[in-house]
Structure formats: structure tokens, C-alpha cells
Amino acid sequence: MGKGKYLKWEDSEGNVFRPVSLTGNELLNNRTLNKSTAFTYQEREDFDLNGLLPPRVQTFEDQLKRVYQGFSSSSTDIEKYQYLRALQDRNETLFYALISRHIEEMTPIIYTPTVGKACQEFSHRFQIARGLYLTTDNIHDVGSMAREFTGKDIQIIVVTDSQGILGIGDQGVGGMGIPIGKLSLYTLGAGIHPDHCMPIALDIGTDNQDLLADPMYLGIPKKRLTGEPYKAFIKTFVEQVKLHFPKAVLQWEDFSKSNAFDNLSDYEDELPSFNDDVQGTGAVVLAGVIGSTKMKGETLVDQIYAVYGAGAGGVGVADQIFAGLLKEGLTHQEARDRIFILDSRGVVFADREGLDEYKKRFAKPIELAKDWQLAETNKVGLTELIDNVPVTVLLGCSGVGGAFKEHHIKKMLDHTPRPMIFPLSNPTSCCEAVPEDIYKWSDGQAIVATGSPFDDLHFKDSLYRIGQGNNVFIFPGVGLAAITAEVKKITKDMFTTASFALADYVSQEDLDAGCVFPKISELRDVSLHVAKAILEQIKQTDPECLLRDKDITKELALRMWEPAYLPYRRA
């Protein structure tokens, strides 16, 4: 009889096993079932594997040592990425066991920052197909493609149209590296079995001239679909998802800023979906700010916020801070008054012609700056803002490397003894300032968190651990909670709850080290903590909640897969 959610059986004597119908090379080539050299002598006999493997049986530990040696012998990060992807494509159990044991070393390889380079070089480094590639020619054939897809009972989909990949922009079909990487983190953090994960790339062309001119480019070599044809394509895509994957949670990933907000608002009521760049980024940043206020002995309400970068991530951050301020008792107007957003034209004011719709809710009245001294007429940049407004929290979401300068940080010290400076853009080359400079400019008084990983830093007589504001602390727990509760909609409150749960998880030891985020090695526990908090909130607020009379901890345990080999028996 099946036990739990993930193909785990017990016989009448309580022996755990997994029934398997594949044999021979079909079994060895199945990345979910393959044990490679760890197949026992009996399994080799039972599944027609004799002679297809070297004769000596290895233990799981032996395999882990071998593949870690292979990883370590790779000389560059992109070679390590290729090595891990190849391992994932032939033996997913071994892959996840390996990265779970070396999580701090390997997560920057399987995702940011290395995944950015992998997306850029996708066509030249392509190895084995993974996921679905949807185009205008095949968008109506998702059902037939799903029947051929290796995974079944799809519960989480990560989709991108590859237009806004990290800080590097349009990568065409190469953006598939992002959904693959995100879903790896879902499995690593939330234990969602790889068979229930589906990465999707919407290949609707590219405006990247380098890709269009590259004869090796694997995507459709034409300009990107836009306007009403784009909207019609997305509408058809959502319809296909609802029809063929009715249990799935959909995560929108790395869409352009306008499409990110439009797709989210158009379809958040159609199926359980969210945009990690908008909502996940906002939630993890709010958690970091909450942790910083604990260090200072203050509250969210005591701060003035400057969000430098008003794309999907930046406005998502502003939205989540706004939600946090409301939770602490402010009115809508009082909360908005404390948040300033800046784009490439400076502070966003309401009188600007052609102002993007999604920026309007945080636009300021131009009268606010009527008495400010400006270096450039009609432009209020970051310097002018900090010179005239007592900003205590500076959040970088711009993708502009080196945008935060020494005079910005020193001026903030006039407003608060401990400014919060979060240069969040990644990859590392896009970081608005490096932690070493921020500590130097603030004489060690700033509270720092980054988007990219940085090593611990010695400054004067203190050792600082640089917290990484990584969305991976949020989205696996949100996805796991949504799947477990079978929600029809993923709400904004779920992300606010996730923010406060993440901040609650951060220990006093972390805060004493100057760090407002947990260690990435604690990802599994963090994801479980976030998921439990969200499910408790759902139980309290939703009278139709499926978990009302159930033990949440047990329900989550049933769904969280552990990467370990089970004994196989012929099905």
C-alpha cells in the first residue's frame, strides 16, 4: 500500500520498498529511479541489469564521495554547474543528496549567481532536454506533450518568458535555466519530489541581437512577441495549465516588469499563482528589515524607506513593506508616505508623463520637492532624496553595480545611528555596493544584507556574517503550503505571514553576528517553518480549509521527500 505522497510502499511486515516496472537500460536511463552503481546484486538480477554496470556494488556514501570529488575537480563555476546538471539528469536522488550535504557551497552554483552565465551560454552548453518549451506553434498541444513528460501528477510549475532574466535581461530560450534552478531549490528546500515539478520556457522570440545573430542559438530566431498577440498567448498558456495540470501551483519567473505585474493581476484569481520576483523578493526583504529593527530596538513604523530600482522586484519590495506597515497599524496613506521609489529618472513623482501604472501607487506629489536643492533640473536622484528626507533604510533593486556611494551612506548616518543598507541586485557584478565598502563608510554601524552571496567579513575587531536576502527562504515554503492546503488563490497575506515567519526564525546568534537572515544550510528547516506559519494562518482565516482538523506538522512530513534510495521490487 502507498505510504505518504511519494511512491513509498510498505508490505505487511512493515518493510519499506518501491515497486518499479522498468528494467535494463530503461531503468538506468530514468533519472528519478536510477541508482547506478548502488543497485544491489539482487536488484541487478531482478531488473535485468547484470553486465550493464561495473560488477562492484557501491554504497550511497561511496557514490557521494565520488561525485563530490568530481565536482571539486571542476576548475570554474560554470564547469561545476555543468557537472551538477549532468548528475541531476542521470540520477536525481544522488544529486539532491549531494547538494543537501554541501548546500552553502553548491546553491550559488545551481542558482544565482552562476545560473546567469548558464543562461547566457545555454545554446552552446546544451546537454539533455528537460522541461517543456512552448511556442506559438505548439501552445495548443500541451496535453500531448504532458503525456510524454517524465514527471507525473505535476504540483509546481515554474515558467519564464526569459525577458527579464536576473540582472542580465533577455536571454531567449536560454532562460530555461531559471525554472530548472528554481525547481531544484523547491526540492532541496521544501522536499517537493522532482517528479511533481515542471519547468517551462515560453519561447516567443528574443530581442537580444547577439542571440539572433548566433547560428548556434537554439530558440526561435525572430523578434519577441508583444502586445495583444502576447496577451493572447499567455491567456492560452494559462488555459492549458488549468486543463492539463489542475493541481499545480504556477510560479511566474523573470518576466519583464510590466508583464510581470500584468500576468499576476490578470490570472491570480484564475489559478493558484504568484510572481517570485515581485512577491518573493518583497517578502524576503521585509523579513530582513524586520530583523534589522530588532537589532535597533525599533519598529517598521520608525523607518523611512528608499527603494532604489522600480522594476518588478523594487515595486514588489515596496508593496511588501507597505503590507508590513499596515500590519503594524498604519493607515494606507501613512504607510505610503514612508516609502520612496526611484527608477532611472530618479524619485517617482505623480506628475510624470507616461508613468507606468504599477508605479503610481508609490508616486509622490511633486510639491514635496519644491524647496529641494537639485543638481539637475527636474530630476531628484538618490543623493537629493537622502539629503532632504531622513532615509533610514536603503534597498537596492536596480541592477546598477556601484550605485550606492560613500556620501549616501554617510548622510544616512545623520538620520540614524544604524542605517540599513541592502544592495540586493544580482549577480554580484550588479550589486549596488559591496559589504566591505559599506562597513568602511559607516565605520561598522550599517546593517547590511545582500542579494548575492558574500564571504564573512572582518572589520576592525569584529567578524560580520553577510546575510543573503535570497528568495529561496520564501518561495519553497509558500509553494509547499499552497500545495498542502490545495488553495485556490495565493494571497498577499500569505507572503506577509512568510515574512514575519522568516524574521521569527532568525536567531539571536544570527543578529549578534550582524546578520538578518539564517544560514542557507538551514534551508530545509526554514522552509518548513514558513510553510507551517502560512498553514496556521489559513486554518484560522479560511472556514473551508482542508486542514482544519488535521495535524499540520504530519501533513507536511507526508509531502517532504528525502533523497535516499529505497529497495526496489518488480511491479
Check 182, 257, 359, 532 and give the catalytic one: 182
Phi–psi pair at 79, nearest 5 degrees = -70, -35
| Residue 182 is a catalytic residue | yes
- Region class of 48: left (phi > 0), else alpha (psi between -120 and 50), else beta: left
Q: What is the DSSP letter of 448?
A: E
Phi and psi torsions of 3, nearest 5°: -120, 125
Residue 218 near residue 162, CB atoms below 8 Å: no
Question: For this structure, is 6 an active site residue?
Answer: no
Catalytic residue among 6, 96, 111, 439: 111
Q: Tell me the CB-side half-sphere exposure of residue 62, using CA atoms within 13 A.
A: 9
Q: What is the 3-state secondary structure (H, E, C) of 11-68?
A: CCCCCEEEEECCCHHHHHCCCCCCCHHHCCHHHHHHCCCCCCCCCCCCCHHHHHHHHH
Q: Give the chain's radius of gyration (CA, Å).
A: 24
The C-alpha cell at 336 is 505610503
Question: By the 8 A CB rule, do 195 and 103 touch?
Answer: no
Strand order in the sheet with 16-20: 2-3, 8-10, 16-20, 568-570
Dmax over Cα atoms in the chain, in whole Å?
84
Would you say 554 and 532 are in contact if contact means Cβ atoms under 8 Å apart? no
Catalytic residues: 111, 182
